[in-house]
Amino acid sequence: MNIILFGPPGAGKGTQADKLVKIFNLFKISTGDLLRQEIKKNTYIGLKIKPLIDKGFLAPNDIIDDLIDKVLSDKNHKNRLIFDGYPRNVDQAKQLDLLVKKYNQKISCVLSLDVDKNTLIKRILGRQTCTKCGLIFNKYFNPSTNKEHLCDPRFLDKRPDDNEKTVINRFETYIEKTLPILDFYKEQNLLHQINGTGEIDQIFNKIRTIMASLET
């Protein structure tokens, strides 16, 4: 099955996607990760989008579509994808429909994590990533401990776009351009809305219940 994990920045999409990958043997496709890889490699695409990403704006549709097309063309990924952070507007959602049909696939369901604005801002401003091992923590909700994080605390770092001004801009962009996708998928009877506030495992249990209903 192909799943879209939907929600505003800081809703916990990446965390839940990682758990889905392990349980259901899926591949996570994060457009944010794909774009950051392009920036890190200083590719033509990376140089073009870096100023936009740093200010909290979305990358152009044509660039995202090309990256997604490349992913879907991989036969190992067929009907085994979780889209994390894509689509981000209705035009991208329509294009994704065309792309999955191009490769004889379909979207099985859309999971929307709903979290209030103040909680999202606190989550993002507290987010820390270990530059050595890649583990992600939050100093407010999930702080690093010696038991689970053996690297030196000096390796804990914040993403450059995790600042209050950028966070608020990203949230407003989400409200303006991304929320209409809910209606798009609701019309296709694919949308499942989930309260994304609470313990990580509690939220994941809600997702597993939905996934089980799709398999019956």
Q: At 200, which CATH number?
A: 3.40.50.300
Q: Would you say residue 126 lies in a domain?
A: no
Query: Is residue 201, in this structure, part of any structural domain at all?
Result: yes
What's the domain range around 91?
Answer: 3-115+178-215
Structure confidence at residue 128 (pLDDT): 85
Q: How many domains does the chain have?
A: 1
DSSP count for the chain of H helices, then E strands: 9, 8
159 is catalytic: yes
Q: How confident is the model at residue 14 (pLDDT cuts 50, 70, 90)?
A: confident
- Is residue 208 part of the annotated active site? The answer reads no
216 pLDDT higher than 70:
no
Residue 94 host element (H or E)? helix 90-102
* Phi, psi (degrees; rounded to nearest 5) at 171: -65, -45
Contact 152, 176 (CB under 8 A): no
Determine the pLDDT at residue 70.
86
Segment 99-107 mean pLDDT: 95
- Mean residue pLDDT of the chain comes to 87
Residue 20 domain-assigned?
yes
Confirm whether 42 is domain-assigned.
yes
Task: Report the pLDDT averaged over residues 83-96.
Answer: 88
Contact 126, 117 (CB under 8 A): no
Reply yes or no on whether the pLDDT at 53 is more than 70.
yes
Q: Is residue 124 part of a domain?
A: no
Q: Highest-confidence range of 23-32, 153-162, 164-173, by mean pLDDT? A: 23-32
Assess if residue 15 is contained within a domain: yes
So what's the pLDDT on residue 136?
A: 80
Report helix angle 164-173 to 117-125, nearest 10.
140
For residue 161, which of 85, 87, 84, 57 has the smallest C-alpha distance?
57
148 lies in some domain: no
The residue type found at 51 is P
Residues 106-126 have a mean pLDDT of 88
Chain centroid to CA 67: 15
Q: Beta 191-195 vs 109-114: how paired, if at all?
A: parallel
* Annotated catalytic residue, options 28, 50, 88, 123: 88
Q: Is 208 among the domain residues?
A: yes
Choosing from 78, 122, 159, 206, the catalytic residue is: 159
Does 88 participate in catalysis according to the annotation? yes
For the segment 107-132, the average pLDDT, to the nearest whole number, is 87
Helix (H, G, I), strand (E, B) or coil at 116: coil
Beta pairing partners, 156:
130
Which band of pLDDT confidence, cut at 50, 70 and 90, is reported for residue 93?
Answer: very high
